[in-house]
Amino acid sequence: MKVLRMREFGKPTRVPELVESDPPEPAGGQVVVAMEAAPINPSDLLLIRGWYGHRPALPAPLGTEGVGRITSVGAGVDRSRLGERVMILPTLQHGTWQEQVAISEAAAIPVDPAADLLQLAMLGVNPMTADLLLHSFVDLPSDSWVGQAGGTSAVGRYVIALAKQAGLRTLSVVRRPEAAAELLELGADAVVVDGEDLGEQVAKALGDERLSLVLDPIAGEAVGKLAARLAHGGTLVSYGGMSGAPVTVAPADLIFGDLHVRGFWQKHWLDVTPAEEITAQYARLASLVADGTLHVPVAACYHLERHQEAISHATDVGRGGKVLFTW
């Protein structure tokens, strides 16, 4: 079978290599999943570069999440699971950019076989990240304002949809003016364009109101403009650094606004949360994928043989959607 792996850390379009490997056999308590679709996430590209919080032993298979069908089961696993479509928990313990993967039974979460395959493939990382960002740090009353950078990202889109469902309002920062209308149609309450006057735009959009929570995957100066509009005691959560710059918040806002700055990494949540709670949370989100509440654009799908083209496409900031491997 074909496996996309790396022998060294480095440039994402250079170091992954496609190799042939023996198909896996399930050990006790394991299932083998024949992959159907798996996305390329920014965290995957950071991991390949060696810049991520997790550094696997090399050589290492690649890919964090995906969806497929159970084709064989090990001892102790109910054979009724054969043929089941499952999403793979993004535990970073296995690669999903390969034709088949052996994983623990608990890491194979059943999903609706009639739901959109590509949307299900993206369930593991971004929808759960958005949900946890909204609900794990602050108890937000109905109608609270949530500000976010990276509004057009997959997480940003999921935040808008989940906030709307929870009765919260969102203010999203985008890079391109033409993206504003798209997010407003999606359900965003306010959209502003990053630039020299960002602070003024945010103030105008909020009027006399304040943000209760700010979510930031970008870092840099834009997050400081959002933090300046947080309510006293408000919370800023950093979950990415796509700009490569530090999170910049004015000392006066931190001191006089008594702001709280937190970090979020989904792996920490997976490591400490009971398995039954993880399964229940994913089941809830999977139902929202199935009914179309949670949906993000797809830019393109590729076979593993075209991995260089796929990864290059995934690094294009103007791609207009997610890039996935499909089988």
8 A C-beta contact, residue 160 and residue 151: yes
Say what percent of the chain tops pLDDT 90: 95
Residue 244 has pLDDT above 90, yes or no: no
Q: Which residues of 245-280 are buried (b: 16+ CB within 10 A; e: fewer)?
A: eebebeeebeeebebeeeebebeebbeeeeeeebee
8 A C-beta contact, residue 68 and residue 85: yes
Overall average pLDDT of the 227-242 stretch: 95
The domain made up of 2-125+274-326 has a fold known as: Quinone Oxidoreductase; Chain A, domain 1 (3.90.180)
Which of 44, 46, 49 shows the shortest CA–CA distance to 15?
Answer: 49
| pLDDT of amino acid 140 | 96
Residue 319 has pLDDT above 90, yes or no: no
Which of the residue ranges 48-62, 137-151, 240-254 would you say has the lowest mean pLDDT? Answer: 240-254
Overall average pLDDT of the 277-301 stretch: 96
Mean pLDDT score of the chain, rounded to an integer?
Answer: 96
8 A C-beta contact, residue 124 and residue 87: yes
- pLDDT tier at 240 (50, 70, 90 boundaries)? very high
Which of 151, 182, 188, 153 shows the shortest CA–CA distance to 169?
Answer: 188
Element spanning 161, H or E: helix 154-165
| pLDDT of amino acid 73 | 98
Determine which one of 52, 239, 282, 302 is catalytic.
Answer: 52
Residue 44 has pLDDT above 90, yes or no: yes
| pLDDT of amino acid 298 | 97
Say what percent of the chain tops pLDDT 70: 100
282 is catalytic: no
8 A C-beta contact, residue 159 and residue 146: yes
CATH number of the 137-263 domain? 3.40.50.720
Q: Where are the domains of the chain?
A: 2-125+274-326, 137-263
Overall average pLDDT of the 296-309 stretch: 97
The model's pTM: 0.95
